[in-house]
Amino acid sequence: MKSLGSIRRDFAPWNDPNAKPYIQFDNVTKKFGDFTAVNNLSLTIFEREFFALLGASGCGKSTLLRMLAGFEEPTSGRILLDGQDLRGIPPYRRPVNMMFQSYALFPHMTVEKNIAFGLKQEGMSAPDIEKRVAEMLRLVKLEQFAKRKPHQLSGGQRQRVALARSVAKRPKVLLLDEPLGALDKKLREETQFELMDLQQNLGLTFVVVTHDQEEAMTMADRIAIIDKGEVMQVATPAEVYEAPTSRFVAHFVGNVNMFEGKVAERTAKTTRIAGASGAQIVVDNAVDTAPGADIVFAIRPEKIKISSKKPVDAVNALEGEVYDIAYLGDMTVYHVRLDDGQMVRASTMNAARITEDPLSWNDRAWVSFRPDAGVVLTR
Ligand SMILES: Nc1ncnc2c1ncn2[C@@H]1O[C@H](COP(=O)(O)OP(=O)(O)OP(=O)(O)O)[C@@H](O)[C@H]1O
C-alpha cells in the first residue's frame, strides 16, 4: 500500500522498530463491580505524539485517561511511562497533567493569577513565575487579557487560559478530556490548530479523548478507535479513513457504502463479489477468502462516480435512480437507489460552478468505481 502516514512527514516513530514507546498500556483491564469498562487493552504512545482516543459515549476512553493520570488504578495489567510502572504512584507525582472538560478556572482570579497558581504551589520563585506566565500568555495569544477575570472572557479565551495553565508546569504528557467540547464549531476548528501548534512548539506528548471523529482526524498523529473497552484499530487518520480494518471502524469514521455479498470468483489479482440480488462487482484482492465466503466491499462516497450515461471502460458500473440530492456548496451528495434496491451515496466536488452532467431527482443514473477504490472487509 502507498503511504498513508503521518501529516508530520518525518514523524512516524510507530513505524520504527527501534523506537521506544513512551506510554504503554499493557493488557489493561478495568472493572467497576461486574462491569468491564476496559477489556484487556494494549496500546503504545510515543514521545511527542498527538494521540487521540476516539469512541462513542461510554466506550471507556475517559477511564483510560484517568488511569494514566492516576485517578483510577487498573484492575489488572500495567501502565508504563518511560519504562516505569505507574502502579501506586499518586497523580501529583506523575509527569502528566490533565485538562478537564469543565475548565475549572478560579473565577475570582485574573488570567495571569490563574496561570501562576500551580507554579506558586510548586514553590517556583516570583521572577521565574512571572517569566513563565508571560511565556504562556504569549503562547496562547492572551497577552492583552492578563488582567481580566474569567467571566470577562469568551468561551474560547477561557479555553486557552485553561490550556496555558495546564502546560505552565511543563508536564511531559498532557491529557485532554474533550478539550474543545464547550466551543462552537468555528472556534473549535481554530482552536484545534492552535492546540496542534502548541503541542509541536513545546514538544509535548498529548493524549486527547474525543467522540468527535473530525476533531481526532484533524489533530492527531494517530487515533485509537475504542469500542466497548477494546481497541478496534490504531492508525494514522488517513489509514483509519482509507484502510479501515473492520466494518465498525469504516462506519465510525466518515461515510461509507457497503457492498455485501459472497466471493464468486478469485483470480490472482481480483475478487468478484456477487450480491444477494445478483449484481456483481470486481475488487482488488485484499484478503485470502475462499469462494462462497461472506465479504463486504467498503467504499467512500467520494470514490464513486455518478453519471447519466453508462461509463465506458468502467470495471464496476451499477444502474439505478437518483433518489435524493443534497447540495452542500463545496460538494453535492447524491443518493442513488440501485435497481437491486441498495442505496448508494456518491459525492462530487463542485470544482466548477456549472456541472457538465446535471442530474436531477428520479433521473436514471450510473454509479461506477475502480476495483481499488475501497477495501474488502471480513469482520
Ligand atoms: N466509577 C465508576 N463506577 C461505575 N461505572 C463506571 C465508573 N466510571 C465509569 N464507569 C462506566 O464505565 C464505562 C466507561 O466510562 P468512560 O467514562 O470511560 O466512558 P467514555 O468513553 O469516556 O464516555 P463519555 O464520552 O460519555 O465520557 C461507562 O459505561 C461508565 O458508566
Domains and CATH numbers, the chain: 13-250 (3.40.50.300), 255-377 (2.40.50.140)
Kindly report, residue by residue over 254-286, the tens digit of the pLDDT.
Answer: 899 999 888 888 888 888 888 876 778 888 876
- Return d(Cα 332, Cα 347) in angstroms, integer: 6
Task: Annotate 216-248 with b (16+ C-beta within 10 A) or e (fewer).
Answer: bbbbbbbbbbbbebebbbbbbbebbbbbbbbbb
Residues with CB under 6 A from ligand 1: 32, 35, 37, 55, 57-63, 211
Closest atom of ligand 1 relative to the 209 alpha carbon: 22
Atom 16 of ligand 1: nearest residue by CA position: 60
Helix (H) or strand (E) holding 197: helix 185-202
Would you say the pTM of this structure is higher than 0.95?
Answer: no
- Return d(Cα 334, Cα 154) in angstroms, integer: 39
- Return d(Cα 195, Cα 163) in angstroms, integer: 9
Closest atom of ligand 1 relative to the 72 alpha carbon: 1
CA 178 vs CA 53, 171, 241, 246: distances in Å: 10, 19, 21, 25
**Strand, coil or helix: what is 370?**
coil
Task: Annotate 107-124 with b (16+ C-beta within 10 A) or e (fewer).
Answer: eeebbbbbbbbbbeeeeb
| DSSP secondary structure string for all residues of 264-322 | EEE-SSEEEEE-TTS-EEEEE--S---TT-EEEEEE-GGG-EEESSPPTT-SEEEEEEE
pLDDT at position 112 is 94
| DSSP secondary structure string for all residues of 67-100 | HHHTSS--SEEEEEETTEE-TT--GGGSSEEEE-
To test ligand 1's pocket by mutation, which of 31, 34, 35, 71 has the most ligand atoms within 8 angstroms of CB?
35
**Strand, coil or helix: what is 202?**
helix
DSSP at 144 = G
Report the separation in Å between the CA atom of 65 and the middle of ligand 1, taken as the mean of its atom positions.
Answer: 11
To test ligand 1's pocket by mutation, which of 59, 68, 177 has the most ligand atoms within 8 angstroms of CB?
59
Q: Which set of grid coordinates corresponds to residue 317? A: 458500473
Q: Under 8 Å CB-to-CB from 222, ≥6 apart: which residues?
A: 6, 14, 49, 51, 52, 234, 235, 236, 237
- Return d(Cα 26, Cα 179) in angstroms, integer: 26
Atom 31 of ligand 1: nearest residue by CA position: 58
Closest atom of ligand 1 relative to the 30 alpha carbon: 12
- Return d(Cα 131, Cα 257) in angstroms, integer: 54
Closest atom of ligand 1 relative to the 211 alpha carbon: 25
Answer whether 40's CB lies under 8 Å from 77's CB. yes
pLDDT at position 86 is 96
- Return d(Cα 286, Cα 376) in angstroms, integer: 6
Report the separation in Å between the CA atom of 330 and the middle of ligand 1, taken as the mean of its atom positions.
Answer: 38
Atom 22 of ligand 1: nearest residue by CA position: 62
Report the separation in Å between the CA atom of 178 and the middle of ligand 1, taken as the mean of its atom positions.
Answer: 14
Report the separation in Å between the CA atom of 79 and the middle of ligand 1, taken as the mean of its atom positions.
Answer: 19
Closest atom of ligand 1 relative to the 38 alpha carbon: 14
Atom 20 of ligand 1: nearest residue by CA position: 58
To test ligand 1's pocket by mutation, which of 35, 36, 63 has the most ligand atoms within 8 angstroms of CB?
63
Report the separation in Å between the CA atom of 58 and the middle of ligand 1, taken as the mean of its atom positions.
Answer: 5
Closest atom of ligand 1 relative to the 229 alpha carbon: 14
Atom 18 of ligand 1: nearest residue by CA position: 60
Atom 28 of ligand 1: nearest residue by CA position: 58
Task: Annotate 185-202 with b (16+ C-beta within 10 A) or e (fewer).
Answer: eebbeebbebbbebbeee
| Cβ neighbourhood burial of 302 (10 Å; 0-12, 13-18, 19+) | middle
pLDDT at position 196 is 87
Q: Under 8 Å CB-to-CB from 2, ≥6 apart: which residues?
A: none
- Please name the amino acid found at residue 264: A
First to last CA, the chain: 20
DSSP at 21 = P
Atom 29 of ligand 1: nearest residue by CA position: 58
**Strand, coil or helix: what is 378?**
coil
Instruction: Quickly count: other Cβ atoms within 10 Å of residue 273's Cβ.
Output: 24
**Ramachandran angles phi, psi of 179, nearest 5°:** -65, -25
| Cβ neighbourhood burial of 351 (10 Å; 0-12, 13-18, 19+) | exposed
Tell me the ipTM for this assembly. 0.92
Report the separation in Å between the CA atom of 59 and the middle of ligand 1, taken as the mean of its atom positions.
Answer: 7
Taking 50 as the pLDDT cut, the residues of the chain under it are 1
pLDDT at position 61 is 93
pLDDT at position 286 is 64
Atom 2 of ligand 1: nearest residue by CA position: 32
Report the separation in Å between the CA atom of 214 and the middle of ligand 1, taken as the mean of its atom positions.
Answer: 22
